[in-house]
Structure 1
Amino acid sequence: MKKHFVLPLLSAVVIIAGCGKAPEPSLSQNADGHQSTAQVEFQAEQLSRHIQQLASDAFLGRQPGTEGETLTVDYLVQQFQQLGLQAGNNDSFTQAVPYMQVTNIGQPQVRLTGSANGWQPQVGTDIVVSSRTGQTEVNLSASDIMFAGYGVVAPEYQWHDFAALDAKGKTVIVLVNDPGFASKDPALFKGEEMTYYGRWTYKYEECARQQAAACLIVHDTAAAGYGFNVVQNMMQRAQFDLANNQSAKTPVIGWLSTEGAEQLFASAGLDFQALKTRAAQPGFQAVALEGHQLSASIKLDVQTGRSNNVLAALPGKSRADEWLVVTAHWDHLGAIPKEDGALAIYNGAIDNAGGVAALLAIAEQAVAQGGFERSVLFLVITLEESGLLGTKHYVANPTVPLAQIVANINIDALLPVPETRDIWIIGLGQSELDDVVRFQAAKQQRVVIGNPEVEKGFFYRSDQFAFAQVGIPGLFMGPGTDSLQGGKAVGEAALQATQARYHTPDDIFTPDWDFGALLQDTQLHYLVLEDLANSGQWPNWSTQSEFYQLGQQLRQTRQ
């Protein structure tokens, strides 16, 4: 059955008799400055055809640098060309992103010395390790082990986990997330809401600054927001970095399971759980695992190559030098051989074929409506799954001046769940973009709430974060859980069912997908884009945001 969602008529359509042109939507500005236009319509078929194509087995999980990338990029360029959009990078629809690809050869060797009870970590079960230095062989020899709590150096929070011990040359064990989450103290960091200090990417960066020889993060499902299986899968496949990344790197990086950490600490006569509790308290000092050293040998296949961002431009009518950037990442995790020789394909239907499909549908609607007053860049990004690398490359090599970008609207992992009464803003309170969403969501009879899973740090896990790091306000919305069909019980169950597929071969398209929230959320993203692209607003970061000063600096360059 044809399923569609139609937004009520917001203002009259101006029809010019006898001109032979399609009518353009009239604009009306509300007292608060928000823009409204004529009706828009999105259909399930419009999204599903893109999702089914991008998430098909033929695309092999859309891993950068593979045939799956070639098929994906060709498909996206073709779609933009068919819409009549302009190339977004001079005369090209692509932007090359040089990368380094590193894959473990066989199973790394890891050995613990000094263990009082003879315990040894089992690679793949207790510990997973790799390296991103670009070397084909990395050896760690009898490196002293220390526990550095959350591995955080944050002057603004008066926190320094490395103050008591020198980490140079050592194996540093740290906890995932940050002290606020662990303590539940709202006055510590941001309380239960993860800060960037809680992300695994930060942990490795800080260990590198401390000149550690190895950095091992202790996994915890609640604190990380995903199971240990996600980490195990990640370390089995190719790891990526930008080829021109000259920042310092810790030679050995990896994860410990909670059980592995407990065994390791017990072998040193320490109580891991007690130390974990202490690590969340102000004044914690790093602890040495006396007499214990870790050795490791990792052989790696190192390749360099070029992946591609795909980008298209819709020029503005009256303020063409002011830009909105709409993003969605096209990459996923590729395919790995199973024991029977068949391929386990990580199709990534939800993450993020659905987001790309929404971006393409929004681009199609924007063209059909005749464009906006401001220009729009549709940017489909590579290497998001590897640490937002495609976006980091773009903001370092922008095709339009960063100071002229009004905001980034990022679309990631829209969920096939029933229509909802609510909509999440992930990072609610970060910027004035919240007000635009509230205004437009009200037209759908929806309310805006913050992401209830603040401990998972979703704001730092998708592409708007890379824009935020250079001062550009970024918006990242989620589906909500208050279902029109059964309330929160139904909505939360649907959310949990889809989250169970995260980064597994089960993230596939099936004919029974419910497109209710997908259509709602696609329309809301379009309405927010339309509002910003037809208004004179330059949304600010809130003064409480960690990105406020960056935003002020960017505004000064614009002036």
Structure 2
Amino acid sequence: MSMRLTAALLLALAAPAAAQTGTAPAPTISADNLTETVRTLASDQFQGRAPGTIGEERTVGYLIGRLQALGLEPGGVDGGWTQPVPLLHTALASATRLQFARGNNVQPLVQGTDIYVSTLQPVDIATVAAAPLVFVGYGVSAPERGWDDFKGLDLKGKVAVFLINDPDFSAAAGEPVAGKFGGKTMTYYGRWTYKFEEASRRGAIAALIVHDTDGVGYGWNVVKSGGGENYGLVVPAEKRTSLQLQGWIAHDVADKLFADAKLDLNQLRIAARRADFRPVPMSGVTLDAAIPVRQEVVQSQNVLAKIPGAKRPDEVVMYGAHWDAYGEGKPDAQGRIYRAGANDDALGVAGLFEIARAFKAAPAPDRSLVFAFWTAEERGLLGSEAYAQNPIYPPEKTVANLGLDILQTAGKAKDVILVGKGQGSLEDDLARVAATQGRSVSVESLPERGLFYRADHFSMAKRGVPVLLMMGIAGASDLVVGGKAAGQKWVDDYTGNCYHQACDAWDESWNLDGAAQDIELFRMIGDELARSTKWPAWKDGSEFKAIRDTSAAARK
């Protein structure tokens, strides 16, 4: 991507001023600096920061200018500031054919009403020719938990039909499965992304998940809002998904579909909660589809910067935030056309700048610090996944990944929200360091929504890197002014009105003193790690512990 921004513009965009130098104590995180960064990145000049647009070009130029002004070194590919991330963008047109069939009984399907599908195939037409449907329960293959829903089933050429969430999500007390998958706390096996990945690993031609609002955490209106679009990483042909189509079946349509196949979906939900569950062929029901596809390759970039370690530069403490938002959309009630993500995640980007400023004002760390600004988080964590697939800094020597993604803007809090309780030792560090701020830890309020698996740190967790996420919408903060009730009101107002909407804009009513607290907390945790020989670990029971254990020798 060319960088057509002039040097003068880059310097103008680089405010606040360059970093302090020397060996003075780390400066306090500045709410004013956070404000200026967010107001800039959320302005119309950056056009909503969508990957592959002029908004990206301006954003990348701005990030690099700021990092240079702060005195950081390039941390990207070949000594540069960036890492290329080619993205496949697909959009389905009106279907030529989209239906379920059982013998002569044909059920036409309306995209967005009865079913919602998309594709990650770079093809002109996504085609499924009378492929048989097989119900695979929750579709979980977890040998470490003694669970296998597939029982050797060959899915090649078939359509896998899944339930959302984990096998124990709806389990009653006393059922053998109760607690095996975290109860109401979602594991990765409950995520729709895992189910599509598992279907592809087994060669399915399509994968459909029965929509359930409680299980997924949002209504059908959110599912269908995708408009038939999808984004994925550009990969060689041999690594492409086997799925021609992937998506969801509306709850009522699924009930009828199973009934037409002489199956009782409610009874199958119960059966799928047993370890002896076996896949159920859906009695001659097939999916038939032919849908034109518009496709393009979007060239995007991660931005990476570093502060080299003075003693062990090959050991890396990584901070991350995503620079992208949703770009241009339909005007809202105020006529705003850009979904600019002021909080999600311009505020996280601003936090990384402040942490970098603080480190540059202090003595050099023993370990290297890397600041990663990810692209395409809103398209499925794609920038961080591209990095994790082709890491610049080896995961086995990456000490931790500390992610900022949405911070509360309602003032100081008496607590900090923990996302992903029970995963790793970093949560113990969070509690200990928060106590030095006079704060306690509160656990996320809706762990069944799986927020731990829905931010960029997860791409690193899948490679075994210990992670910690700061996400303000994970629970109601106990605000100094107004307590939990005020914290819940902030969460409800933001998620109900502004999340992924044009409303997520800079607002004069914001109070960033609480965000500054959270950013300082992460700075202190990272500072401890960067000036020690400590290696955080996954806790027993975490699905990521075994991955990290395989590389233990590299850290001795």
State which drifts further: 455-464 or 49-58: 49-58
Q: Distance in 2 between matches of 1:108 and 1:455?
A: 37
Equivalence for 1:375: 368
Equivalence for 1:187: 179
Q: Distance in 2 between matches of 1:161 and 1:376?
A: 42
User: Cα gap change, 1:99/1:61 in structure 2, threshold over 3 Å: closer, same or farther?
Assistant: same
| 2:487 corresponds to which of 488, 491, 494 | 491
Aligned pairs for 1:118-197 (under 5 A) are 120-163=108-151, 166-183=154-171, 186-197=178-189
Shift of the alpha carbon at 1:122?
2.1
SS in 1 for 2:193: helix
Task: Kindly indicate whether the alpha-carbon contact (under 8 Å) linking 1:335 and 1:343 is maintained by their aligned counterparts in 2.
Answer: no
Q: What letter is aligned with 1:83?
A: L
User: Cα gap change, 1:119/1:244 in structure 2, threshold over 3 Å: closer, same or farther?
Assistant: closer
Equivalence for 2:90: 102
Equivalence for 1:513: 510
Shift of the alpha carbon at 1:292?
2.3
SS in 1 for 2:549: helix
Q: Distance in 1 between matches of 2:37 and 2:330?
A: 26
Asked whether 1:59 is paired with 2:52, we answer no
Q: What letter is aligned with 2:68?
A: Q
SS in 2 for 1:181: coil
SS in 2 for 1:62: coil
Q: Distance in 1 between matches of 2:411 and 2:352?
A: 20
Q: What letter is aligned with 2:481?
A: Q
Q: What letter is aligned with 2:408?
A: L
Shift of the alpha carbon at 1:372?
2.4
SS in 1 for 2:543: coil
Q: Distance in 2 between matches of 1:365 and 1:86?
A: 15
Deviation string, structure 1 residues 431-476 (Cα, Å, up to 9, x no partner):
2212321221012211123323221122222222221222221111
| 2:248 corresponds to which of 246, 255, 275 | 255
Task: Kindly indicate whether the alpha-carbon contact (under 8 Å) linking 1:388 and 1:463 is maintained by their aligned counterparts in 2.
Answer: yes
Asked whether 1:82 is paired with 2:69, we answer yes
SS in 1 for 2:510: coil
User: Cα gap change, 1:57/1:177 in structure 2, threshold over 3 Å: closer, same or farther?
Assistant: farther
Q: Distance in 2 between matches of 1:377 and 1:319?
A: 13
Shift of the alpha carbon at 1:198?
0.9
Q: What letter is aligned with 1:346?
A: R
Shift of the alpha carbon at 1:45?
2.3
Task: Kindly indicate whether the alpha-carbon contact (under 8 Å) linking 2:99 and 2:107 is maintained by their aligned counterparts in 1.
Answer: no
User: Cα gap change, 1:256/1:183 in structure 2, threshold over 3 Å: closer, same or farther?
Assistant: same
Deviation string, structure 1 residues 207-244 (Cα, Å, up to 9, x no partner):
11222221111222322233333322234434222334
Q: What letter is aligned with 1:144?
A: P
Asked whether 1:215 is paired with 2:207, we answer yes
User: Cα gap change, 1:22/1:380 in structure 2, threshold over 3 Å: closer, same or farther?
Assistant: closer
Q: Distance in 2 between matches of 1:532 and 1:453?
A: 29
Q: What letter is aligned with 1:177?
A: N
Asked whether 1:239 is paired with 2:236, we answer no
Q: Distance in 1 between matches of 2:389 and 2:422?
A: 26
Task: Kindly indicate whether the alpha-carbon contact (under 8 Å) linking 1:317 and 1:371 is maintained by their aligned counterparts in 2.
Answer: yes
Q: Distance in 2 between matches of 1:119 and 1:401?
A: 51
SS in 2 for 1:234: coil
Task: Kindly indicate whether the alpha-carbon contact (under 8 Å) linking 1:116 and 1:268 is maintained by their aligned counterparts in 2.
Answer: no
Task: Kindly indicate whether the alpha-carbon contact (under 8 Å) linking 1:406 and 1:538 is maintained by their aligned counterparts in 2.
Answer: yes
SS in 2 for 1:61: coil
Task: Kindly indicate whether the alpha-carbon contact (under 8 Å) linking 1:436 and 1:531 is maintained by their aligned counterparts in 2.
Answer: no
Equivalence for 2:9: none
Asked whether 1:291 is paired with 2:291, we answer no
Q: What letter is aligned with 2:534?
A: Q
Equivalence for 1:226: 218
Q: Distance in 1 between matches of 2:272 and 2:119?
A: 27
- TM-score (norm: length of structure 1): 0.87
Shift of the alpha carbon at 1:492?
1.7
Task: Kindly indicate whether the alpha-carbon contact (under 8 Å) linking 1:109 and 1:123 is maintained by their aligned counterparts in 2.
Answer: no
Shift of the alpha carbon at 1:324?
0.7
Deviation string, structure 1 residues 264-288 (Cα, Å, up to 9, x no partner):
3344344333332332233223233
Q: Distance in 2 between matches of 1:233 and 1:371?
A: 47
Shift of the alpha carbon at 1:166?
4.3
User: Cα gap change, 1:242/1:388 in structure 2, threshold over 3 Å: closer, same or farther?
Assistant: farther
Equivalence for 2:342: 349
Shift of the alpha carbon at 1:115?
8.6
User: Cα gap change, 1:122/1:472 in structure 2, threshold over 3 Å: closer, same or farther?
Assistant: same
User: Cα gap change, 1:126/1:514 in structure 2, threshold over 3 Å: closer, same or farther?
Assistant: farther
Q: Distance in 2 between matches of 1:106 and 1:345?
A: 27
Deviation string, structure 1 residues 310-343 (Cα, Å, up to 9, x no partner):
0111122333332211111112233345799x98
Q: Distance in 2 between matches of 1:188 and 1:404?
A: 31
Task: Kindly indicate whether the alpha-carbon contact (under 8 Å) linking 2:416 and 2:440 is maintained by their aligned counterparts in 1.
Answer: yes
Shift of the alpha carbon at 1:259?
2.7
- TM-score (norm: length of structure 2): 0.87
Equivalence for 2:444: 451
Q: Distance in 1 between matches of 2:500 and 2:135?
A: 30
Q: Distance in 2 between matches of 1:543 and 1:301?
A: 45
Q: Distance in 2 between matches of 1:378 and 1:461?
A: 20
Equivalence for 2:295: 302
Deviation string, structure 1 residues 100-152 (Cα, Å, up to 9, x no partner):
22222345741222399875432112211121122121111222222221111
| 2:468 corresponds to which of 472, 475, 487 | 475
SS in 1 for 2:379: coil
Q: Distance in 2 between matches of 1:310 and 1:39?
A: 24
Q: Distance in 2 between matches of 1:152 and 1:108?
A: 33
SS in 1 for 2:225: helix
Equivalence for 2:16: none
Uncovered stretches (5+) of structure 1, i.e. residues with no partner: 1-20, 26-37
Deviation string, structure 1 residues 379-427 (Cα, Å, up to 9, x no partner):
1011222332222222332223333321111111222233222212212
Sequence identity of aligned pairs in percent?
Answer: 37
| 1:200 corresponds to which of 192, 205, 216 | 192
Q: Distance in 2 between matches of 1:113 and 1:544?
A: 43
User: Cα gap change, 1:267/1:493 in structure 2, threshold over 3 Å: closer, same or farther?
Assistant: farther
Q: What letter is aligned with 2:515?
A: L
Alignment length (residue pairs): 526
Q: Distance in 1 between matches of 2:408 and 2:94?
A: 36
Uncovered stretches (5+) of structure 2, i.e. residues with no partner: 1-19
> Aligned-residue CA RMSD in angstroms?
2.6
Q: Distance in 2 between matches of 1:221 and 1:363?
A: 41
SS in 2 for 1:180: coil
Q: What letter is aligned with 1:203?
A: K
Q: Distance in 2 between matches of 1:339 and 1:121?
A: 31
Shift of the alpha carbon at 1:370?
4.3
Q: What letter is aligned with 2:23?
A: E
Shift of the alpha carbon at 1:355?
1.1
Q: Distance in 2 between matches of 1:77 and 1:521?
A: 24
State which drifts further: 291-300 or 198-207: 291-300
State which drifts further: 467-476 or 179-188: 179-188
SS in 2 for 1:41: coil
Q: Distance in 1 between matches of 2:455 and 2:548?
A: 19
Task: Kindly indicate whether the alpha-carbon contact (under 8 Å) linking 1:429 and 1:542 is maintained by their aligned counterparts in 2.
Answer: yes
